[in-house]
Amino acid sequence: MFPQFGATADTLSKASTLVFRIGTDAHLYDDPDDVSIAPLLDSKFDSEKCEALKRLLALIAQGFEVSNFFPQVVKNVASQSLEVKKLVYLYLLHYAQKRPNEALLSINYFQKDLGDPNPLVRAWALRTMAGIRLHVIAPLVLVAAGKCARDPSVYVRKCAANALPKLHDLRLDENTAGIEEIIGILLNDHSPCVVGAAAAAFSSVCPNNLALIGRNYKRLCEILPDVEEWGKIILIGILLRYIIARHGLVKESIMFSLHSTENSQSEKDCSDTNSALVEDNGDMSGRYQSELANIVSRCYIEGPAEYLSRLSLMNKDASECNYARFTSGKSNDDVKILLQCTSPLLWSNNSAVVLAAAGVHWIMAPIEDLKRIVKPLLFVLRSSNASKYVVLCNIQVFAKAIPSLFSLYFEDFFICSSDSYQIKALKLDILAYIATDSSISFILKEFKDYIRDPDRRFAADTVAGIGICAQRLPEMANTCLEFLLALTRQQLMTGEFGSVDGEADILIQAIMSIKSIIQQDPPGHEKVIIQLVRSLNSIKVPAARAIIVWMVGEYNSLGDLIPKMLATVLKYLAWCFTSEELETKLQICNTTVKVLLHAKGNDLLTIKKF
């Protein structure tokens, strides 16, 4: 712009950067090793020691290895300068675990600093001691942590809580009782900051020692809203585990409803085993949901780590799984106070806190009060892109168990063009489960648009979603069926199936959805089966052909028209048998056997000729 001044955008940018860096230590990152560091560490002047230590920290920040300066840095821990001491501790915190034997030489200085008037120095000393992972000094660290747990400074007490998991990692059994005692002291602290750190230590060190929680349960519930965000998440989980371990699940909750379903399902299975075998798919889904109560109960009582290490629970008999205990939420004060203290957290700015609080209400709140978690979850869904996937995963679980919770808010789950495939798939599944008689017309209209989506995998999922809607709403089954048949005819006429990547999946899902609708009322869909059989010659996708052939065998005696066309169909299948894929060949064999079992007289002789 002004060539007479020789100014360019690049030079102006550099000049601006230099101006902003005046008075800062940013120059250390440009060339941190441009001055010999060793002489400065041995200097008599604190300013030169600070310069050297800052350069070392700059090198560490850039990924350089500077542990060779460890002996020279350690001896400066005795400095009277607070700034030098701070920089020394920062260096030692980084390398204490890698050079524990050399750090051990300064253990006396660390212990001395535990009595320093400055709380920052006391906290630095404890953090460094805890960072030296040596069994030799474990008793000293335990004593130091116990001393700092009673320190008047909140920051020091928080550092004591953070030091306990490091001490526990040494796996010294003789220290376990002492560590748990200190955790009990910290859980009783009046500072929310300390309680949050103590909860993290409890979760890491002794998650099953719920007696520590019982002593302070009401105080922990009352202080919960004031604990820092990530501490809330841990503390909510601990309090929920304590409630379930002590009182069991709430009778008025959805978990009790699922448990009752399990008991009635078990009785039904015992009285009618053959019927259960026929309806295998539905029973497996019901069994999975009904065992959820027992899974949650046992997981929270035994601890998630111990429980999840044994994956055989789902394979046990129902009598062995019956482990859940129950209480009444209306008369249990502990349940009431937990629900009361977590209710404000449903509107937290942290999406993880919202999900944790929603989990408490989902497990412990009466069914009629569950509606309070809906709007907070939808608000998080709209406002936080980073947590959208996790929120949708939780909503998916809630919607499958109680579709009516989100049925009024179906528009919130309509697909956006910017959504990833994973987000689209979750929204689609939720829409299929929350559809009602009043909303199904709008949802089907959306689904018709989704089928034209360039992502053909998502389009195939949409077709599967239409099948789910038809199964959930039998009165809309004919509408869904007509749309699926029209879609199949349209694509067969244009010859797109199999010619474009993903189109074959759409055809397969369409035929599978049609099959699921037919299974609800086979006599009423005889003509649909005939229509699919007639389209066999046009359909080239092996999986789709296999499904249609299966329907021929499954419904070979249905109505008047299907038995008359069996001979022609089998003749066609025998003629093209050699060119079929394996899955289609298997279904042709199965269908032939089924037809032979029902065929009689002349029909049997005719079929045997093939």
**Angle subtended by helix axes 119-131 and 154-168, to nearest 10:** 0
**pLDDT at residue 308 tops 60:** no
pLDDT recorded at residue 347: 94
Q: How confident is the model at residue 296 (pLDDT cuts 50, 70, 90)?
A: low
Give the C-alpha separation, 184 to 205, whole Å: 12
Q: Write down the pLDDT at residue 236.
A: 95
- CATH classification number, 27-215, choose in 3.40.50.150, 2.30.110.10, 1.20.1250.20, 1.25.10.10: 1.25.10.10
Cα torsion for 190, 243, 362, 310, to the nearest 10°?
120
> Which region among 286-300, 309-323, 370-384 has the lowest average model confidence (pLDDT)?
309-323
Residue 6 has pLDDT above 70, yes or no: no
Query: Of the given ranges (25-29, 308-312, 346-350, 417-421), which has the lowest mean pLDDT?
Result: 308-312
How many distinct helices (H) and strands (E) make up the chain? Answer: 35, 2
Among residues 329, 322, 361, 337, the alpha carbon closest in space to that of 251 is found at 329
Cα–Cα distance between 341 and 356 in angstroms, integer? Answer: 12
User: pLDDT tens-digit profile of 383-425?
Assistant: 888 889 999 999 998 998 899 999 999 999 999 988 999 999 9
Report pLDDT digits (tens) over 46-74. Answer: 888 888 888 888 888 888 888 888 888 88
* Cβ-Cβ contacts under 8 Å for 182 (sequence gap 6 or more): 142, 145, 146, 149, 160, 164
CA distance 522 to 107: 82
Q: How many Å apart are CA 77 and CA 125, to the nearest integer?
A: 10
Q: What is the mean pLDDT of residues 29-37?
A: 61
- Distance CA(515)–CA(520), nearest Å, equals 9
Closest CA to 287 of 311, 270, 262: 262
Whole-angstrom Cα distance, residue 86 to residue 270? 71
**DSSP secondary structure letter of residue 365:** S
pLDDT for residue 304 is more than 60:
no
309: helix, coil or strand? coil
The residue to which tokens 């080239």 are assigned: 540
Q: Which helix (H) or strand (E) holds 561?
A: helix 561-575
First to last CA, the chain: 90
The size of the chain, in residues, is 610
- What would the pLDDT profile of 116-168 be if each residue is shown by its tens digit? 899 999 999 998 888 888 888 889 999 999 999 999 999 999 999 999 999 99
Chain centroid to CA 150: 38
- Give the number of other Cβ atoms within 10 Å of residue 170's Cβ: 14
Q: How confident is the model at residue 603 (pLDDT cuts 50, 70, 90)?
A: low
pLDDT at 547 (0 to 100): 94
What are 366-378's pLDDT values in tens digits? 988 999 999 999 9
Contact 91, 61 (CB under 8 A): no
In the Cβ-directed half-sphere of 213, how many Cα atoms lie within 13 Å? 26
**Percentage of residues in the chain having pLDDT higher than 90:** 41
Amino acid, res. 567: A
Q: Tell me the pTM.
A: 0.78
Q: What SS3 class is residue 359?
A: helix
CA distance 534 to 439: 34
Write the CB contacts of 72 (distance below 8 Å, at least 6 apart in sequence): 38, 41, 42
Nearest alpha-carbon partner for 515 in 473, 564, 480, 548: 548
Q: Return the domain boundaries, the chain.
A: 27-215, 216-270+280-365, 544-610
Cα-trace Rg, the chain? 34
Stretch 264-282: mean pLDDT = 41
What does residue 250 show for φ and ψ, rounded to 5 degrees? -85, 135
- For 191-219, what is each residue's pLDDT tens digit? 999 999 999 999 999 988 999 999 999 99
DSSP 15-64: HHHHHHHTTSSGGGGTSTTSS-HHHHHT-S-HHHHHHHHHHHHHHHHTT-
